[in-house]
Structure 1
Amino acid sequence: MSRKRLYLFIILVLTISLISTNLWVPKIKANSPTSVIEWDENRQHIDGFGGSGAFQKPSYIMELPEPQRTKILDMIFSQEKGIGLSMVRNLVGDGEAASTIQPEPGKFVWDEPDWESAKDDFDKDQIWFMREAEKRGVTTFFSSVWSPPAWMKTNDSVNGTGEGKLKRENYQDFADYLAEYVLGYKEHFDLDISYISIANEPHYGPSYSGAVWTPEEMNIFIRDYLGPTFEERNVPAKIVMPEHMHFTEEYALPALNDPVTADYIDVVASHAYGIGTDVPEFPVSTEKGKTIWQTEYMNQGEAKQSYEFNTIRDGLRHANLIGDMFDVTGISAYFWWWPAAVNGADGSDLIRLTTDEDEEVNGMFRVFKRYYALGNYSRFIRPGYMMIGSDKSPVEGVQITAYKDPETNNFSIVATNNKDTKQEITLKLDQFPEKIKELVPYRTSGNENLKKLDDVKVTNNGKAVTINLKSNSVTTFIPKEHELPAFEDMKDVFSSYEAEENDGQSKGIPKSKEKTYIKHVRNGDYIKYENVNFADGTANGQPGMEHILSMDATVKSIDGGSIEIRLDDPVAGPVVGEISVSNDNSNEWETFSTMIDTNPSDGAFGFHDMYLVFKGDSRKKLFAVDKFTFNDGIDEPIELEKHLFDYEDGTTNGWKGRGGSEILEATQKEKQSGEFSLKTTNRTSSWHGPSIDITDMVVKGEEYEFSAYFRFVDALKTPSTVKFMLEITDLGGTTYLPLEEVETNNSEWFPLTGNYMISQDISSIKLYVETSKPEDSFYIDNVIIEPIN
């Protein structure tokens, strides 16, 4: 045998050997961005995902008829049928926001003679909510204090107004109150309260239930009263603090830096209001080994209730935020505010229960994309999991985080693609204890709601997989042996409807070669979408926008025609809208629209199958069809107005303190002109100051000039930086834009000015003034917001 033939023979033998030993496998595409998932890189443990039943919101669910009541509860708590929230946050009763266990000194309700007859009505809705959650596997109950009982407070009210605080002489009473709450709920209701938070948003004194605490007061109370009391009485609940409104650990620092107090604290928690895209670290909490939670967030404010804030854009915003908080801050739990409720501001809810004309729940509900995006985490990342290492951003616009169950070797990989184009990514499964053969994807996108997709094969002997991430989507991958059932296919008005991805169509409709749209339709053709939830026919959650719904069709005209929107039957079903398509034969994708009839008798109201029926000249190709989307149908010009705040009516003109501790008053002591100005005192942080929400005063796409006059109350020895600012919230988060910054100790009135073009993407915008020194008090006057024509 020649040497050349010998070499070929050896190569052939080696090749056969490699194949037989499973070492020869299909190659992963070399040009795919790669994220290495590190099984042995253990990070923080996971406590779970939760929502709140505070302020009697579960009572609306209780009022629902069956089977809707069970359906909503399953959608919240069931891992099989819903998003599997695994924690419930309650409100510790104060006598107004919920039942109190001690309405007056020395008297606990369960010591009263009539307790057994009164027991069933005590804190009825929250206890019912917890028990329904328990039936669906929830074991973690977390209770937050909004206010101590009124008799313990300096303002004799559960409200936070007037700087209402817990009186120092009642610190021990309040410690006993919380101990009795935990022990009493176990004894009388057989409910284990796992965690107690001593204060909700302690820096803020609201007009509803609330109490103001300083960081040092929280430190003293936990160190000298609550910790020792829980220890002495063997109270099993863990202590949570400080639950500041903004996502920061600063309010916890005195307690964390006190070695005695720090030993009593189990969880450092904060809310996420005002957070932008830069998620902060909690370095001291991490150094001290404390568990970190995000315990309340929602789409706050009326401006966020427009149609776009309920679609996939909002879903992706929350998906990115959750991933960042787990990765950067190292949180172990994430809470939404209310999972399901009736609210004028839909941004509070994942699911909104709709009501009739008498404001009674009517059994219908609306589901927002944020529900499904949160579910991409909560359904698949369970209590007891750990976060593990991953290359979080293998390519711009993609976020990947990973989690494992050390007990079962189950795992979840969450991949968010924020790009408008699909993205191919390779996942390398490093040091995984078992050979992974297949992954099951569950995807939320513009037209999908946690949809279970086809299995993905894992190659390289179970060590690598190439995944295709759809544009603007969040996808969770879990191993095949731990797959969960598919969700009920329940569509909604906040999803898009891709023409080629329908639930049925008439014969003869051709798809494009790319299979991304329908090539053309003819007269009488139709496509069908099953189980569309129109709910109350509303797309925009703002007041006065009920029953306003429109539909947009993205088509490419050939000979033109129309599109009938019919319900339940393509021929006999009622027509609730008709879209006219011009015959311009432009060969360009265009959008055509119509309003939708949402009347309760035979309109787009409740659940229906939806048929899109195409009409036109029977001999012609009418148009190509790409997709359909709903909208709020609002396209009316808004008049540009100038706004002046001169406080001449003797009020604050709607300005409020950003922190809640500030005192704002219209005063005649100083004024730039006229008789009044606005005085701000009692600031305790540099960011405290007067603020006003101007969202409804400005028009998107227009440029405005902002101006004001400023003066310090007292002359300064050293300069302070005066900041004239905008707080801008959009789908990317919240940013803080300086209109003008002046470092000065000028004791006279001086002007502040700046211009800003209002972005189309803003959801809320606030104007405010602050200074770099917390002790500064100051006046403002003649604040003007003026459009630049």
Structure 2
Amino acid sequence: MRIQWIQSTANQPWTTQTLPPAGEGEAPASARLRIGGPVGQPILGFGGCFNELGWIALQKAPEVERRTVMAALFDPEKGCAFNYCRLPIGANDYAAEWYSHNEHDGDFAMERFSIERDRRYLLPYIRESLAYCPEMTLFASPWSPPTWMKFPKAYNRGTLIQTPDNLRAYALYFRKFVEACAVEGVQIAAVHVQNEPNSDQKFPSCVWTPPQMRDFIRDYLSPEFESAGLPCQIWLGTIERGIDHYGAREGYKDWAGFILDDEKVRGIVKGVGYQWAGKGAVQRTHLAYPELPIVQTENECCDGTNSWYQAHYVFDLIWHYLQNGVSAYVYWNMVLEPGGASTWGWNQNAMITIDPATGRAIYNPEFYLMRHFSAYVRRGARRLELAGNWCVNAVGFVNPGGETVAVIQNAATTERTLRLTLADGADYVLTLAPESFHTLILHSEA
């Protein structure tokens, strides 16, 4: 058995450790972890969201530095190996300005639809990533429809006016977006109907009820895609709560369950996307529909301070989602300027910060955390059974190539000693630094 061990602490991220030989030393019984066989969902990948402010920040770095950052995120051998990423359809809160792809009132035929703006920011960002990962899976979602389809007529807040003309036009809007991206060499694998449909936001947003989303998917979006022969999938997402206690009075406490109870929609929808408070519904959906993949669509963003403490909070999020059936985990802003201010004033974390004064890239704690997972857990990996008291601080996988990967957290402020028992019974003793992350890659020798 050959074992690689990578450790990250706040002061020394991404260092290679030497693993003691099997059977040496004794670990306290209070620190044990046993790795078993495959029990969980296949992994689709890890990634982040392509946002305009990220590309704008990257332009403030010299070309060599920018390429280094892109390799750090997407290179499958030397970087995070991101391969499952998101992009907005129109503006979100990390667009430089708010926009849609058709602001021409009453253009139900979408004759003036255009993604010209995306040629300035999002498409170059995505194309540069594809140079490292040509097999990237991309999914897209709108934050707001065109304003003339909404009440009130604004990007933020409001709802889609639910008339047949509007709904047909909006389905066509999705189709036009997928087709226009394909012309640019960017293949959209799936669309999610609405970002956070249960929230009336200060930034681009649109409120939907579960019955409205069900009917739009069944009666408008799916027929439009089918008539065009689009291979693009339709997913139910991105749901930010999932359990709506107020909606229980209307019969839809469980968002996904209500929509998927419709037999026709159930045959259309190819997966479910959850983010933020949607984490409370992941287990319910996975147990009810184990055949449907679930993805975590937007990592919680904290406050722009990019602290090591916040990275530990995000580890807990990743652990929760993966242990409860999620097949992909998607970070939010991969790159931002210092502070990470959104267009509506919320400072948020980023994996990498570009100093606009010097053009230097700063690799933040969550960059290393994401890399501990994404660099070694391959597409098609399956989650492993873990046992012992340390299983709440670890996630295990077996890759298609046969390697076992374990990602382990020591959240304590003190050093901890861990006895790791493999499926074949071999024991290893590891001393884990305080407040640290670890990745073990176990290669079976022929």
The 1:30–1:122 alpha-carbon spacing in structure 2 relative to 1, beyond 3 Å, is closer
Give 1:193 shift.
0.3
SS at match of 1:336: strand
The residue correspondences of 1:27-42 to structure 2 (distance < 5 A) are: 29=26, 32=29, 33-39=31-37, 41-42=38-39
The 1:222–1:320 alpha-carbon spacing in structure 2 relative to 1, beyond 3 Å, is same
Q: Does 1:97 align with 2:98?
A: yes
Aligned residues: 399
State the AA in 2 paired with 1:260. K
Partners of 1:198 and 1:338 lie apart in 2 by 21
Partners of 1:262 and 1:295 lie apart in 2 by 20
Any idea what the Cα deviations from partners look like across 1:475-526, whole Å, max 9, x if unmatched? 00013589xxxxxxxxxxxxxxxxxxxxxxxxxxxxxxxxxxxxxxxxxxxx
The residue correspondences of 1:257-406 to structure 2 (distance < 5 A) are: 257-272=261-276, 281-288=282-289, 289-300=291-302, 304-305=303-304, 310-327=306-323, 329-342=324-337, 343-344=340-341, 346-356=347-357, 362-391=358-387, 393-395=388-390, 399-406=393-400
Give 1:350 shift.
1.6
Partners of 2:277 and 2:187 lie apart in 1 by 29
Give 1:230 shift.
2.2
Partners of 1:284 and 1:234 lie apart in 2 by 29
SS at match of 1:133: helix
Correspondence for 2:430 among 462, 467, 478: 467
The 1:353–1:273 alpha-carbon spacing in structure 2 relative to 1, beyond 3 Å, is farther
SS at match of 1:321: helix
State the AA in 1 paired with 2:167. Y
The residue correspondences of 1:487-636 to structure 2 (distance < 5 A) are: none
Partners of 1:413 and 1:207 lie apart in 2 by 40
Is the 8 Å Cα contact of residues 59 and 66 (structure 2) preserved in structure 1? yes
Is the 8 Å Cα contact of residues 372 and 438 (structure 2) preserved in structure 1? yes
Partners of 1:424 and 1:94 lie apart in 2 by 48
Give 1:427's aligned residue. Answer: 420
Give 2:150's aligned residue. Answer: 153
Partners of 1:220 and 1:82 lie apart in 2 by 42
Is the 8 Å Cα contact of residues 403 and 443 (structure 2) preserved in structure 1? no
Give 1:642's aligned residue. Answer: none
Correspondence for 2:124 among 105, 121, 128: 128
Give 2:247's aligned residue. Answer: none
Is the 8 Å Cα contact of residues 334 and 350 (structure 2) preserved in structure 1? yes
Give 1:61 shift.
1.3
Is the 8 Å Cα contact of residues 148 and 166 (structure 1) preserved in structure 2? no
The 1:94–1:410 alpha-carbon spacing in structure 2 relative to 1, beyond 3 Å, is same
Partners of 1:135 and 1:196 lie apart in 2 by 23
Whose strand proportion is higher, 1 or 2? Answer: 1
The structure that has the greater radius of gyration is 1
Partners of 1:98 and 1:480 lie apart in 2 by 49
The residue correspondences of 1:224-243 to structure 2 (distance < 5 A) are: 224-243=219-238
Give 1:248 shift.
4.9
The residue correspondences of 1:188-267 to structure 2 (distance < 5 A) are: 188-246=183-241, 248=243, 250-267=254-271
Give 2:44's aligned residue. Answer: 47
Any idea what the Cα deviations from partners look like across 1:293-327, whole Å, max 9, x if unmatched? 21112334xxx445xxx333222221122112211
TM-score scaled by structure 1? 0.47
Give 1:285 shift.
4.1
Partners of 2:184 and 2:159 lie apart in 1 by 31
Partners of 1:99 and 1:224 lie apart in 2 by 23
The residue correspondences of 1:752-767 to structure 2 (distance < 5 A) are: none
Q: Which segments of 5 or more consecutive residues in structure 2 lack a partner in the other structure? A: 1-21, 245-253
Any idea what the Cα deviations from partners look like across 1:346-370, whole Å, max 9, x if unmatched? 53312222234xxxxx402333212
Is the 8 Å Cα contact of residues 65 and 361 (structure 2) preserved in structure 1? no
State the AA in 1 paired with 2:173. Y
The 1:395–1:81 alpha-carbon spacing in structure 2 relative to 1, beyond 3 Å, is closer
Is the 8 Å Cα contact of residues 268 and 285 (structure 1) preserved in structure 2? no
Give 1:94 shift.
6.2
Q: Which segments of 5 or more consecutive residues in structure 1 lack a partner in the other structure? A: 1-24, 357-361, 432-459, 483-789
Q: Does 1:410 align with 2:412?
A: no
The 1:29–1:348 alpha-carbon spacing in structure 2 relative to 1, beyond 3 Å, is closer
Any idea what the Cα deviations from partners look like across 1:657-716, whole Å, max 9, x if unmatched? xxxxxxxxxxxxxxxxxxxxxxxxxxxxxxxxxxxxxxxxxxxxxxxxxxxxxxxxxxxx
Partners of 1:172 and 1:94 lie apart in 2 by 21
The 1:34–1:149 alpha-carbon spacing in structure 2 relative to 1, beyond 3 Å, is same
Any idea what the Cα deviations from partners look like across 1:151-204, whole Å, max 9, x if unmatched? 3323333x133x232432211221122122212321x21211011011011122
The residue correspondences of 1:631-670 to structure 2 (distance < 5 A) are: none
Give 1:467 shift.
2.4
TM-score scaled by structure 2? 0.80
